[in-house]
């Protein structure tokens, strides 16, 4: 029987691979410049308040201190029960991957996933960010 630590490690590996691998040689996003990931998931029954608290008190403080961090949001899906979209954005894919490989990520991400249904987000989308031009 697998221990809790082994299960959490497997979940973490699955999400890290989903976020950092893709059809183009192991990267989720190959474009230039900033990247945003959106992970779609459902909270376990009765854990929405805990999930939101963990995002605000544990996950966000950790990710927001990382090099190249732009933003992260926990979005609720309207007219749904416990469905969320977690966004995170970095100045580059390389900086996002560096975050995913830190010890701090290994510490805080399992605190989020333990509150999610299933093994990890059901879908992770990657987008290039078009920053608006700076006004002169």
Say if residues 108 and 62 touch (Cβ distance below 8 Å). yes
Structure-token pair, residue 48: 């929405």
**Third-level CATH fold of 4-26+33-128:** Alpha-Beta Plaits (3.30.70)
- With tokens 């989020």, the residue in question is 112
pLDDT band for 27, please (50, 70, 90 cuts). low
Say if residues 41 and 121 touch (Cβ distance below 8 Å). yes
Region class of 68: left (phi > 0), else alpha (psi between -120 and 50), else beta: left
Sheet holding 69-76, edge to edge: 69-76, 83-90, 35-42, 123-128
pLDDT band for 30, please (50, 70, 90 cuts). confident
**pLDDT computed for residue 31 by the predictor:** 78
**pLDDT computed for residue 118 by the predictor:** 87
**pLDDT computed for residue 111 by the predictor:** 96
Tell me the per-residue pLDDT of 37-78, one tens digit each, with 9 for 90 and over.
Answer: 999 999 999 999 999 999 999 999 999 999 999 999 999 999
Alpha carbon of residue 38 to chain centroid: 7
Q: How many whole angstroms separate alpha carbon 74 and alpha carbon 76?
A: 7
Tell me the per-residue pLDDT of 80-133, one tens digit each, with 9 for 90 and over.
Answer: 989 999 999 999 999 999 999 999 999 999 999 999 998 778 888 889 988 767
């Amino acid at each position: 029987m697998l221990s809790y630590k082994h299960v959490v490690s497997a979940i973490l590996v699955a999400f890290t691979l989903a976020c950092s691998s893709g059809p183009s040689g192991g990267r989720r996003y190959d474009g230039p410049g900033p990247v945003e990931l959106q992970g779609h998931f459902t909270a376990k029954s009765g854990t929405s308040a805990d999930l939101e608290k963990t995002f605000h008190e544990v996950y966000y403080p950790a990710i927001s201190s990382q090099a190249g961090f732009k933003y992260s949001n926990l979005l609720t899906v309207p007219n749904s029960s416990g469905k969320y979209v977690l966004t995170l954005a970095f100045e580059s894919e390389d900086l996002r991957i560096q975050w995913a490989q830190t010890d701090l990520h290994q510490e805080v991400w399992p605190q989020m996933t333990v509150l999610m249904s299933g093994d990890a987000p059901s879908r992770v989308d990657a987008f290039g960010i078009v920053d608006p031009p700076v006004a002169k």
